[in-house]
Amino acid sequence: MEKDILIIGGGPSGLSSALHLIKIAPHLSHRILILEKMHYPRPKLCAGGLVADAEIILQRLGLDVSEVPHVDASAAHFEFEGRGIKISVPKSHTIRVIRRNEFDHWLAKKTREAGIEIREGVTVKNIIPDKDGVTVETDQGNFRAQIVVGADGSNGITRRIVLPNTPVYTARVLEVIAPELPHHYDKRGDLGY
């Protein structure tokens, strides 16, 4: 299959890249293909917090992230090596806490509604550039494109091919999925009784 632009990775980075491209050049919508190795809603145990800047970017794309179930937190406290910093945004929430599986699924739906094709369950095996474009080898055959956008994460195939001898540096964060409390949360994310 031949497309002008192949995006590897159907998370927020890949999906929003496609949406930004068609905002600039709407005629590209049918010339973009996103390859995602999982199926939506896909389980993601990584951070589920959207900062104000992320919401502004989504708003500029015409998207309303409040459509996704969320809890707004009025402040955030970050701790590192025994020192911490508290961050808050005047007259607004600081972080909108979401579940990544719900957020990514919602964003994929919005991307499809914009006319962009997403192929789920496709694992990229290799990326081979040549003078006429790029061949992307997958477990479901080869794809050709003029441009490949690597949005498959710091340990994805794109990074491993472009920077094969570079070590991967990752930060470890503990996220605990807790049962819903019998109490309710107010709009600021504070516990209410």
Say which CATH number the domain at 109 has. 3.50.50.60
Calpha distance 162→150 (Å, rounded): 10
Q: Which of 42, 27, 11, 1 is nearest to 149 (CA)?
A: 11
Provide the domain limits for residue 146.
2-192
Q: Which of 77, 81, 74, 160 is nearest to 125 (CA)?
A: 160
Q: Which two tokens stand for residue 130?
A: 């040549």
Per-residue pLDDT of the chain (193 residues; tens, 9 = 90+): 789 999 999 999 999 999 999 999 999 999 999 999 999 999 887 768 898 899 999 999 999 999 999 999 998 888 878 888 898 999 999 999 999 999 999 999 999 999 999 999 999 999 999 999 999 999 999 999 999 999 998 889 999 998 888 887 766 655 555 566 565 544 444 444 3
Q: Which of 172, 192, 190, 174 is nearest to 182 (CA)?
A: 192
pLDDT digits (tens, 9 = 90+) for 21-49: 999 999 999 999 999 999 999 988 776 88
Q: Quick one: pLDDT at residue 44?
A: 81
Domain count, the chain: 1
Contacts of 174 (CB under 8 A, 6+ apart): none
Question: pTM, whole model, 2 decimals?
Answer: 0.84
